[in-house]
Each structure stands twice: as structure tokens, then as C-alpha cells.
Amino acid sequence: MRALLLTAVVALGQQPPPDFRADTNLVPIEVQVVNRHTRQPIRGLTRSDFIVLDENEPKDILAFELRARPRDMAVLLDVSGGTVNEGVRFAAAALLEIQREQDQLALLSFSDGKAKLWTPLTSNSLELAASVNRIFSERGGAMGRAEKTSRLIEAIRTAADTLAETPLDREPLVLVVTHNRDNSRGTVQKQNLLDRLLTHSIRVEAVIIPEEWISSRPGFGGMFGNPSLGVPSRGTSPPSRPAPEYLEDLHSVDSLAEKTGGQAVLLNYRNAQRANSPQATGRTWDVDRVADTINTELLTRIREQYSLAIRGASAAEPQFRRLEIRLTDEAKQRFPDAEVHARIGYYSAPVGGSKGQGGGRR
């Protein structure tokens, strides 16, 4: 896995933190601990509150970090949803709020073709905001598109490729806003992507906006709901056509997020409802509630995550090794509703090789 420079929070009298650049077998593990009911991060945990199992064998935690490290983030926007893309636009604006002075963001969009890189990694927030406006301008056509398919898995891979040169002292992260269906449906392609993400220690965080949120703006007809998603039907009668096939599998990105240590946030009718008077506002979404939901359920988790590191295994050939991160029994008693999210594993470093735990980044 990707080696990284991680400064441990140590008490006086303890030995200094290990050098991640020198020790290529050190494996970084980003951990989010949230309350399973409120989805809010649990603060105040220490190194002694965690147990790390590598193939069921306990491992010493060699580094422990409470502060968020600088990040390289690829923000990936799914514009295949036609008029519902206005929700994607509001979500994108909210996600840009995660940027700190030391962070860099890249901006990409995709639909049924190859993902397009609008802005390479930059710390210029004005440039990023301008790119969002270009993506969703009438001239760009994203607001009016109504593609029936998207290349979600391929687009996430492209976003991950933009993080290939992430320095060792920074965290790579893909933030995707999507309608959550992919036209490939291939399990091999998805597994290959997961292997790549784990090899490079890249986490995926997702915001899912169901496609069937048809626009309520004047000229676009009534508002149709989907009770299975918590979206009540109202306005004119629902269309008579059958539900799209992709509704049979609404979890195209969920498992990628979960297995890399991230989570998926669903923007549904309850937590990001449409504006009360769309005819007056011209909005399908309540932009303030979209921003609040993303900040509360996603950005706060990222800001409050824990960074751990263990010494990984070596092998003649890279082998996948399963990780499990738990809280101690004493920590569970203090936080009985705690839920731990971390990546499911890593690939071992070659014996005597110079490549680190991140696929060879130096």
C-alpha cells in the first residue's frame, strides 16, 4: 500500500513516530467512527481504544493521528441525470466547502462517455467554483441532458488516476456525486477498480441522488415520487412506463465506498426536500438542506476521522491481506452505538523491494 508520512500524537517520554518514507512496510489506515443512529463522528478516542487485526492477527498501532492530514481530492460529478442534475450542482457546491488551505481538489464530470477533467488538482477555490458553473451552464448542456446510462465505474477509475502522483504525506480521496447506476454491470471491472483503490490507499466517499427525482420546475411537468426511496408521489400521476432497469441495483457505488473505508450518503426526500414553492424559486431542491445534509453526514465525518498505521506483511508477490479494525470492549462500553468504518485490507509489499504500501509512490 501507499507509504505516507504520518506524525503520531505521542505523549512525553514515548519514542518519536516512525518514518513512513524509510519503512516501506508501514500501512496507513484511515478510520471513521460514527454513532450508528445520528451518523455523527465519535470524538475523544485514543490509540488504546482501537484493535487492528491483520488476517485475524493483532497488530501494534505504530502511529496514531487525530488531526486531518492534507488531502488530494478528486470530485467526480455524474451529469447523466437530465434535469435532476440541479441537485448534483447543489451537492457539488457543498462538497467544495471541504477544501482547506493545505488541500488540493480536482474536478471531473461524466455521463455515458469518458470522464472529463475540468480542473486538475489545485488549491484555487475560485477556479473550482468557476468550473462547476461551466459544467452546469446552459451552454455546457449538463442541466438538460437525459442520458439513460453512465460509466460510473470507469469514471471512478479515471478520478483515481488523477491521484496517482499524490505525495506520501497527503491523503488521496475520491468524492463522487452520482445517480448510482452503471452501464457496464461487470463484476470483473468493479473488482479491478477495488483492487486499484486498495493498492493506492484511495478512499471513496459518495453522495447518491436517485434519478427518479424528476424536476418540479415550470415546464418540466409534475413531481413524481418513489415510495421505496422515501419520496412520496405528488402533483400529477406517476408515469405509466416501467421503472428503469437500474433501479434493480441501486448500490453500484455503495460497496466501493464501504470497502475502501468510506460511506454513501443518500439525498432523499426527507433530508434534502425540494423547495416549498418551486414555481416561485425555480428550484427542485432546497439548496440549504442539501448543503446541511452533506456537511452533517459526510464532511464532518471526514474532518473528524482517525489515522492509524501498522507494520504490514511482506511476500515474494503482492498478496491481499484482510484488515479488521475494532474498538476495545472498554471503548464499546463507553460508546455502545459506535460504528467503525475502515478499508477492508491492503496488498503486501514485496520482500526486499523499494515499493511502499501505496503501489510504489515515493
Q: Any idea what the CATH number is for the domain that residue 221 is in?
A: 3.40.50.410
Number of domains the chain contains = 2
pTM of the predicted model as reported, rounded to 2 decimal places: 0.78
What percent of the chain lies above the pLDDT cut of 90?
39
- CB half-sphere exposure, 358, CA atoms < 13 A: 27
Which region among 11-20, 147-156, 277-286 has the lowest average model confidence (pLDDT)? Answer: 11-20
Q: What is the mean pLDDT of the chain?
A: 76
* Domain co-membership, 177 together with 244: yes
pLDDT in the model for residue 283 = 52
- Whether residue 84 is contained in a domain is answered as yes
Question: Could you tell me which residues are beta bridge partners of residue 308?
Answer: 29, 64
CB atoms within 10 A of CB 312: 24
* Domain co-membership, 262 together with 324: no
* Domain co-membership, 168 together with 57: no
* Domain co-membership, 129 together with 271: yes
* Domain co-membership, 78 together with 57: no
* Domain co-membership, 59 together with 96: no
* Domain co-membership, 41 together with 100: no
Cell (9 digits) for 158: 479515471
Q: Rounded mean pLDDT of 61-78?
A: 89
Residue 141, SS3 per DSSP: coil
- Whether residue 314 is contained in a domain is answered as no
* Domain co-membership, 50 together with 165: no
CB atoms within 10 A of CB 314: 15
* Domain co-membership, 283 together with 254: yes
Closest CA to 302 of 346, 269, 257: 257
Q: In what order do the strands lie in the sheet containing 306-311?
A: 63-65, 306-311, 26-35, 338-341
Distance of CA 170 to the CA centre of its chain: 16
pLDDT in the model for residue 206 = 93
pLDDT in the model for residue 225 = 35
Distance of CA 342 to the CA centre of its chain: 12
Question: Which residue do the cell numbers 453522495 mark?
Answer: 207
Mutual orientation of helices 152-161 and 187-199 as an angle, nearest 10°?
Answer: 20
Question: Are 155 and 252 in contact, with CB atoms under 8 Å apart?
Answer: no
Helix, strand, coil abundance in the chain, percent, nearest 5: 25, 25, 50
Residue 270 one-letter amino acid? R
* Domain co-membership, 239 together with 345: no
- Whether residue 15 is contained in a domain is answered as no
* Domain co-membership, 113 together with 147: yes
Using pLDDT thresholds of 50, 70 and 90, give the confidence band for residue 173: very high
pLDDT in the model for residue 92 = 92
Using pLDDT thresholds of 50, 70 and 90, give the confidence band for residue 12: very low
- Whether residue 113 is contained in a domain is answered as yes
Question: Are 111 and 145 in contact, with CB atoms under 8 Å apart?
Answer: yes
Distance of CA 14 to the CA centre of its chain: 35
Where in the sequence is the domain holding 289, given as residue range(s)? 71-303
Question: Are 341 and 32 in contact, with CB atoms under 8 Å apart?
Answer: yes
Question: In Å, what is the CA distance from 25 to each residue of 60, 220, 244?
Answer: 13, 56, 47
pLDDT in the model for residue 142 = 53
Q: Does the structure show a pLDDT above 80 at 302?
A: yes
Q: Does the structure show a pLDDT above 50 at 254?
A: yes
- Whether residue 332 is contained in a domain is answered as yes
- Whether residue 127 is contained in a domain is answered as yes
- Whether residue 197 is contained in a domain is answered as yes
Q: Rounded mean pLDDT of 104-120?
A: 90
* Domain co-membership, 229 together with 257: yes
Q: State the Cα–Cα distance between residues 176 and 206, nearest whole angstrom.
A: 5
Q: State the Cα–Cα distance between residues 177 and 171, nearest whole angstrom.
A: 20
pLDDT in the model for residue 274 = 55
- Whether residue 6 is contained in a domain is answered as no
Residue 94 one-letter amino acid? A
More confident residue, 227 or 149: 149
Q: What is the pLDDT of residues 185-194, one digit of tens each?
A: 556 688 889 9
Using pLDDT thresholds of 50, 70 and 90, give the confidence band for residue 310: very high
What number of residues does the chain have?
A: 362
pLDDT in the model for residue 314 = 87
More confident residue, 301 or 359: 301
Closest CA to 198 of 261, 115, 104: 261
Highest mean pLDDT among 11-15, 83-87, 280-284: 83-87
